[in-house]
Amino acid sequence: MWGTIVKSAVGFFSGSSIYLYLAIVVFIAAIGGGFYYMDYKIQQKDKTILEFQDALTFTGTELNKTILTNDKNQKEFDKYKLDQEKNLTALSEQHKKELNDAIAYQKIKGEITHVKKNDDAPNAPILIDTINRLWQTNTN
């Protein structure tokens, strides 16, 4: 097939040399234009690849920074949770102590309120005992 095309082309161009030179010039221009076009496309692709590599490098760097920041934040949050547990434990213990103190005060107040008539005097044993217990409760 190619052989017949070449033979017919050679037969067409064999009679007049101007057409032969013109065909050769067009063929060389087509090949040169093709090479120029392919080179342009390759340069565009290389430029695009470099842009993608730069973007990937930037994204990777930002991802690493984000991972490090996340790890730091996670550690700080774990410290915060431990501190909160300690604070809640301390508050709970303080609340229990204050609740026990309030119960003790209520008991003492109840004893003072319901004292027998014959024990109700400025130096009555119930009052001296109550005052001593109040001082002990206050210093604990």
Q: What is the pLDDT of residue 122?
A: 59
Total-model pTM = 0.43
pLDDT digits 0-9 by tens, 62-94: 999 999 999 999 999 999 999 999 999 999 998
The 10s digit of each residue's pLDDT in 48-60 is 999 999 988 888 8
pLDDT exceeding 90 applies to what percent of the chain?
41
- 85-91 contacts at long range (C-beta below 8 A, 24 or more positions apart): none
Confidence category of residue 115, pLDDT binned at 50, 70, 90: low
